[in-house]
């Protein structure tokens, strides 16, 4: 049960939430954006993406993955896998498309493929903190319970994951593969006839 103090602060909501000037925010991403915009001291690096589309890149992957991994009907498996692949392909295309600041307007050469490390550039942002743990879970759980791997041709996604795995802030906060597999052992449904 929620303590009375919390009940009085934000009736009908569950943690995490934030109240500021009488307004309650309950969505984790909105809380992060608020903290970044309103309360971050000017000398600190901004964690919000510069490009708004970075916030929504890959946002439907986890829903497609959940439908795929929870399915127990063999006849639905192929369509659900295609749905997951389609959303992964969309993310891969975003990661491989150069952002405006990767393109030199004065150069005659085209930038055919982005080389950035993360969604919004070469530094992690809040968008990465939201997507990367989910993408890692997709990679681990889909392999274990569906023998599904993110295709190697999706070079943008693999570059993205490789760069994440090289960062202490990701690897030190990410649960181990076995821990993820155990957590999903009751969620992942066996395909039954």
Distance CA 56, CA 62 (A): 12
Closest CA to 189 of 158, 146, 156: 146
**pLDDT in the model for residue 35:** 78
Judge if pTM exceeds 0.85.
Answer: no
Residue 103 sits at φ, ψ, to 5 deg, of: -105, 125
Tell me how many degrees the CA angle 35-36-38 measures, rounded to the nearest 5. 65
Q: What angle do helix axes 155-165 and 126-146 make, rounded to 10 degrees?
A: 110
Q: What would the CATH number be for the domain defined by 53-183? A: 1.20.1050.10
How far CA 54 is from CA of 14, 23, 88, 191, in Å, comes to 28, 27, 15, 35
At a CB cut-off of 8 Å and minimum separation 6, what does 53 contact? 94
Distance CA 82, CA 86 (A): 6
Question: What digits encode the pLDDT tens for the residues 37-88?
Answer: 777 666 666 777 889 899 899 999 999 999 999 999 999 999 999 999 999 9
pLDDT of residue 62: 95
Calculate mean pLDDT across residues 120-136.
94
Least confident of 91-95, 135-139, 170-174: 170-174
Q: Is the pLDDT of residue 145 over 70?
A: yes
pLDDT digits (tens, 9 = 90+) for 178-189: 999 999 998 887
Domain ranges of the chain: 4-39, 53-183
Please count the residues of the chain: 193
| pLDDT value of residue 1 | 60
Q: How do residues 75-122 score in pLDDT, each as one tens digit?
A: 999 999 999 999 999 999 999 999 988 877 666 676 588 999 999 999
The C-alpha atoms of residue 59 and residue 103 are separated, in whole angstroms, by: 25
User: According to the model, what pLDDT value does residue 6 have?
Assistant: 66
pLDDT digits (tens, 9 = 90+) for 14-33: 777 788 888 888 887 778 77
pLDDT at 192 over 90: no
DSSP state of 10: S
């Amino acid at each position: 049960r929620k303590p009375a103090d919390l009940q009085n602060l934000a009736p009908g909501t569950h943690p995490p939430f934030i109240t500021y000037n009488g307004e309650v925010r309950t969505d984790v991403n909105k809380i992060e954006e608020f903290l970044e915009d309103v309360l971050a001291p000017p000398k600190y690096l901004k964690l919000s993406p510069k490009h708004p589309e970075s916030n929504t890149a890959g946002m439907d992957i986890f829903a497609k993955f959940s439908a795929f991994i929870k399915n127990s009907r063999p006849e639905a498996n192929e369509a659900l896998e295609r749905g997951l692949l389609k959303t992964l392909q969309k993310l891969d295309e975003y990661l491989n498309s150069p952002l405006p600041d990767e393109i030199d307007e004065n150069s005659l050469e085209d930038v055919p493929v982005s080389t950035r490390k993360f969604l919004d550039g070469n530094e992690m942002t809040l968008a990465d903190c939201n997507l990367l743990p989910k993408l890692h879970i997709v990679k681990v759980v889909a392999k274990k319970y569906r023998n599904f791997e993110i295709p190697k041709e999706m070079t943008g996604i693999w570059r993205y994951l490789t760069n994440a795995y090289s960062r202490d802030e990701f690897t030190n906060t990410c649960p181990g593969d076995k821990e993820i597999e155990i957590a999903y052992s009751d969620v992942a449904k066996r395909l039954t006839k």
